[in-house]
Amino acid sequence: MLRLFLALPAALSIALASAATAAADNGLTPVTPESPNAHAIKQTYWVILIITGVIFVLVEGALIVFVVRFRGRGRARGQDGAQIHGSTKLETASTIVPVLILAAIAAYVFVKLPTIKNVPPANAAGGSLKITVEGHQYYWKFDYPGGQTAVKTMVVPLERVVELKVVSPDVIHSWWVPSLGGKIDAIPGRTNHTWFKAERLGFYEVRCAEFCGLEHAHMTGYVHVVTPTQYASFLAAHKGASPALGREVFQGVCATCHGFAGQGDYGPPLKGNAVVADPAQLEKLLREGKNKMPAVGATWDQETMTAATTYMKERFGGG
Amino acid sequence: MAVNTEAAQPYRADWKRGGLTSWITTVDHKRIGILYIVTSLFFFLLGGLLSLFMRAQLATPNEHFVTRGQYNELFTVHGTTMVFLVVVPILAGFGNYLVPLMIGARDMAFPRLNALSYWLFLLGGVVLYSSFFAKGGPAKTGWTAYVPLSELQYSPGHGQDLWILSLHILAIGSLATAINFIATIHNMRTAGMTWTRMPLFVWSIEVYAWLLIVILPVIGTGLVMLLLDRQVGTHFFIPDKGGSALLYQHIFWFFGHPEVYVIILPAMGMISEIIPVFARKPIFGYKAVAFSTVGIGFLSMLVWAHHMFTVGLGWGLQSYFMIVTLLVAVPTGVKIINWLLTTWRGNLIFDTPMLFALGFIAIFTIGGLTGIYLAAFPVDWQVHDSYFVVAHFHYTMFGGAVFAIFGGLFYWWPKMFGRMLNEKLGKWTFWLMFVGFNLTFMPQHFLGLMGMPRRIYTYGHGGLWEAYNMASTIGAGVMAVGVLLFFINAFRTNRHGKRAGNDPWMADTLEWLTTSPPPPENFTQPVPYVGTARPLRDLRLKLKERDERNGA
């Protein structure tokens, strides 16, 4: 019995480990990390998973063993069990052992913490790239050091350290790209910082993790990791009030409520709408909001505004 | 007298005598306890219904069962209901009913205040649900009502104001109850009942009451500030005008974290009453269990900012809150080990209350262990505000607290109503709830790790996202059937259930000395001197000894 009891946790840990590694991103562990901080978080997760896994098996195992072993077997209710009132030795042990286990977990966190929180020094790919992330109801806006603005999709070069300054002009949001590290809140009146260094090309999903209102579910976006050449052309295309930015604003901001073809959804259809055809009126609406329409553009610079109104007029304002 | 006989003439329940007015004017702690429990169960059905709507909406991607606005109302009212209108008051109900009986008292210390508490609770619930008819509908900012989202600019209409009013009313009622419990426990224990001979449930209600007294004024203050911001034009929490959005979170969680221990501690108290009776043993380590209750209560006031690991606190603060949070696991672990050892070498009888108690251990252990992931703050940065957290707190609050409450209902029902609940239906209830619970909430851990944030009304992913969500919805349905069976059980046994007698479980504590249900004055004969923590067992042994002597 005892041997079985000790073998059980080992067997289950192995089963758990193989299940978790067999198929990636099945929910047993955090998603595949693609940045040094995300790697370190996942390693910490693994250490806790193994320790708590063993405790889980010991406790649930003891529960099952005791239930089976000491079941009444139809004995009368009047028949007492062993009248054991406690054991000071055992109580002391059951206090000290958990303290030691928890101390080990805390120590591991402190060992891993520098890799997670400290921004690594600049590398061969150039100095760090500093981007300001603005969480808005209900979209993400990115300001690049060269003055470029992007909405919904943040384009960054591979293997470059990206430092994020995370802010919000309205309510609290939370920046979360599971593959590129943990989340950090965008809080009005505060500036928060985080970073990542993407190790693989591709799209990584961004979510807003703090409930921010009606369209919280659709406050999504992407980090698009590209080659340095692609990054350079992205920057070039986003100079000034570019059509590229106009399209992003429509897709990232307007389409959430008005539909991806502007056909109308929660908000009215855009096609043939008189306000959309008039950049001045549209700017006023975007800056101030009206009824259900929030002031989505309250903090936009003139370039972003022009890009948006121009794009909207060209796409929906005509006849 | 202590030996149970089904033929024993049951006392004609006091509450079967009067009509509606007798209920409205009652100051009897037993009637008030029943009012609390029945009202909470009603709100439990309402809150449960809301959660079924949410699960229906999330069953498949891009579902349109409810609208985005309705969904936000659903989770706000569901959370507020379950915390403030179900679990906290139902525990107040059990406390009301049981504490005077367990300590051999005639009633609570302040019976009229006690009645006021109940009516405030009912009023608070009515105010919350009335907000469905308010301009702009009910609050839709979650049970936490974070600012600035809950400020007037982002949440116009009266829903949020009614939410604040409701919580205020409930808090005042709870505060009065807490004072009442403390006065009762400190002053009205029967002869011989020292602190270390007190039932462990009474210990947990003592800590419950102290925690409420410490935290309710704090949330009251926060709510007044929010109300002033919304209605008078102050800007405590409006950053644009110099206020602080974080201040609200500190205030809320200084209340909010102990609040969940207000819920779990009496639930644990129930487990500590049930397991020994169905293991036919004393609790293993009475003092360790009692003092760990105090320890958890104390630590709960020092850990609030572990709900705020992603707001960008300094490293020192985050480290402090991690360490203190991890420390909570120590007294919690002590309890789990002591419950397990209470079953060791026992004569285990698997009646429904025991099944719920053992189910509680099985489930709560998981909820406790996932708490360690959340305490380790870098890991929390991944799982915070994701479905992992939703799973974690349902493992503690539902699989923990509500399972204990169901165990308590099955255990004390005979005392309250004089008839046993049907065991067969009871076992069905347990197994459906146990399987349904795990099917609902286990996959939510996985969803959180895969990147599903909480409080989203829809998602676009298929594959495993859809499979886990579908499993979760099916599990919720299975649980609902189990809960429904409980209500069928209650109605069916009301007239035709087996008579309980004084002490159907051969239990240890004083509430089983008197008739079921007890007379208005609680005890018709003098309460014996309490020499140990198990006065009724002592009495049984004494009677047996006397019979043997007489027989010899």
Cβ distance B450 to A44 less than 8 Å, yes or no, reads no
Write out pLDDT tens, residues B372-384.
999 999 999 999 9
Q: Do residues A208 and A188 make contact, with C-beta atoms less than 8 angstroms apart?
A: no
- The pLDDT averaged over each successive group of 10 residues in chain A (319 residues) is 56 62 78 96 97 97 97 92 94 95 97 94 78 96 95 96 96 97 96 97 97 95 97 94 93 92 89 88 92 89 93 83
Cβ distance A63 to B362 less than 8 Å, yes or no, reads yes
Q: Which of A237, A254, A282 is the last residue of a domain?
A: A237
Nearest by CB to residue A171, choosing from B149, B326, B350, is: B149
Tell me if residue B454 falls in helix, strand or coil. coil
DSSP state of B283: P
Is the CB of A187 inside 8 Å of chain B's CB atoms?
yes
Alpha helix ranges (H) inside B103-244: 111-130, 159-187, 200-231
Is the CB of B22 inside 8 Å of chain A's CB atoms?
no
A265 occurs within a structural domain: yes
A191 occurs within a structural domain: yes
Bridge partners for B365 per DSSP: none
Cβ distance B311 to A44 less than 8 Å, yes or no, reads no
Between residues 26 and 65 of chain A, which touch chain B (CB distance below 8 Å)?
Answer: 26-31, 40-41, 44-45, 48, 51-52, 55-56, 59-60, 62-63
**pLDDT value, residue B260:** 95
**pLDDT value, residue A121:** 84
Q: How far is A13 from chain B (nearest CA, A)?
A: 15
**CATH assignment of the domain containing A267:** 1.10.760.10
Our count of domains for chain A comes to: 3
**pLDDT value, residue A4:** 55
Q: Using a pLDDT cut of 90, give the percent of chain B over it.
A: 94
Q: Do residues B87 and B79 make contact, with C-beta atoms less than 8 angstroms apart?
A: no
CB pairs under 8 A between A and B: 260
Residues A166 and A183 in one domain: yes
Q: Quickly state the pLDDT bin for B18 (edges 50, 70, 90).
A: confident
Helix (DSSP H) and strand (DSSP E) numbers for chain B: 17, 0
CA distance B269 to B99: 12
A123 occurs within a structural domain: no
Cβ distance A83 to B382 less than 8 Å, yes or no, reads no
Cβ distance B68 to A70 less than 8 Å, yes or no, reads no
Two structure tokens written together for B429: 């209830």
Residues A179 and A230 in one domain: yes
DSSP per-residue codes, B19-85: -HHHHHS---HHHHHHHHHHHHHHHHHHHHHHHHHHHHHHSSTT--SS-HHHHHHHHHHHHHIIIII
Between residues 294 and 353 of chain B, which touch chain A (CB distance below 8 Å)?
Answer: 310-312, 315, 319, 322-323, 326-327, 329-330, 333-334, 336-338, 340-341, 343-350
**pLDDT value, residue B117:** 97
Nearest CA in chain A to B375: A106
Write out pLDDT tens, residues B101-137.
999 999 999 999 999 999 999 999 999 999 999 999 9
Tell me if residue B419 falls in helix, strand or coil. strand
Residue with tokens 């049970």: B143
Is the CB of A68 inside 8 Å of chain B's CB atoms?
no
Q: Read off the amino acid at residue B207.
A: V
For residue B391, the chain A residues in CB contact (below 8 A) are none
**pLDDT value, residue B7:** 47
User: In a 10 Å sphere around its CB, with 0-12 CB exposed, 13-18 middle and 19+ buried, how is residue B192 labelled?
Assistant: middle
**pLDDT value, residue B20:** 85
Residues A140 and A226 in one domain: yes
A144 occurs within a structural domain: yes
Between residues 108 and 147 of chain A, which touch chain B (CB distance below 8 Å)?
Answer: 109-110, 112-113, 116-117, 137
**In this predicted model, which residue has the larger pLDDT, B57 or A260?**
B57
Residues A196 and A251 in one domain: no
CA distance B141 to B48: 19
A198 occurs within a structural domain: yes
CATH of B14-551, one of 1.20.210.10, 3.40.120.10, 1.10.3720.10, 3.30.1490.20: 1.20.210.10
**In this predicted model, which residue has the larger pLDDT, B223 or A267?**
B223
On the question of pLDDT at B235 being above 70, the answer is yes
Write out pLDDT tens, residues B169-214.
999 999 999 999 999 999 999 999 999 999 999 999 999 999 999 9
**pLDDT value, residue A3:** 56
Between residues 362 and 381 of chain B, which touch chain A (CB distance below 8 Å)?
Answer: 362, 365-366, 369-370, 372-373, 376-381
For residue A66, the chain B residues in CB contact (below 8 A) are 340, 343-344, 348
CA distance A158 to B191: 76
Nearest CA in chain B to A204: B451
A100 occurs within a structural domain: yes
CA distance B388 to B370: 9
Residues A207 and A225 in one domain: yes
Is the CB of A184 inside 8 Å of chain B's CB atoms?
yes
**CATH assignment of the domain containing A180:** 2.60.40.420
In 3D space, the residue among B311, B304, B317, B205 whose CA is nearest the CA of residue B255 turns out to be: B304
Write out pLDDT tens, residues B28-51.
999 999 999 999 999 999 999 999
On the question of pLDDT at B407 being above 60, the answer is yes
Burial state string for A254-269 with b = 16 or more CB within 10 A and e = fewer than 16: bbbbbeeebeeeeeee
Q: Read off the amino acid at residue B516.
A: S
**pLDDT value, residue B11:** 54
Q: Do residues B447 and B465 make contact, with C-beta atoms less than 8 angstroms apart?
A: yes
Domain ranges in chain B?
14-551
Section B72-89 average pLDDT: 97
Cβ distance A187 to B362 less than 8 Å, yes or no, reads no
CA distance A183 to A208: 9
Nearest CA in chain A to B145: A211
Residue by residue, what is the 3-state secondary structure of chain A?
CHHHHHHHHHHHHHHHHHHHHHCCCCCCCCCCCCCHHHHHHHHHHHHHHHHHHHHHHHHHHHHHHHHHHCECCCCCCCCCCCCCCCCHHHHHHHHHHHHHHHHHHHHHHHHHHHHHHCCCCCECCECCEEEEEEEECCEEEEECCCCCEEECEEEEECCCEEEEEEECCCCCEEEECHHHCCCEEECCCCCEEEEEECCCCEEEEEEECCCCCCCHHHCCEEEEEECHHHHHHHHHHCCCCCHHHHHHHHHHHHHHHHCCCCCCCCCCCCCCCHHHHCHHHHHHHHHHCECCECCCCCCCCHHHHHHHHHHHHHHHHCC
Residues A110 and A58 in one domain: yes
**pLDDT value, residue A127:** 85
Residues A231 and A251 in one domain: no
CA distance A264 to A258: 4
For residue A182, the chain B residues in CB contact (below 8 A) are 310, 378, 380-382, 384
Between residues 58 and 87 of chain B, which touch chain A (CB distance below 8 Å)?
Answer: 68-69, 72
For residue A117, the chain B residues in CB contact (below 8 A) are 315, 378
What domain range includes position A190? 129-237
**pLDDT value, residue B495:** 83
Cβ distance A84 to B447 less than 8 Å, yes or no, reads no
On the question of pLDDT at B402 being above 80, the answer is yes
Q: Which of A237, A253, A285 is the last residue of a domain?
A: A237
Residues A211 and A145 in one domain: yes
Phi, psi of A142 (to 5 degrees): -125, 130
Nearest by CB to residue A41, choosing from B154, B382, B506, is: B382
Section B508-513 average pLDDT: 96
Section B437-442 average pLDDT: 98
For residue B501, the chain A residues in CB contact (below 8 A) are none
Cβ distance A176 to B454 less than 8 Å, yes or no, reads no
* Sheet containing A192-197, strands listed edge to edge, beginning at the edge strand earlier in sequence: A149-151, A139-143, A129-136, A161-167, A192-197
Assess whether the previous peptide bond of B387 is cis (omega < 30° from 0): no
Q: Which of A237, A252, A275 is the last residue of a domain?
A: A237
Section B493-509 average pLDDT: 93
On the question of pLDDT at B15 being above 60, the answer is no
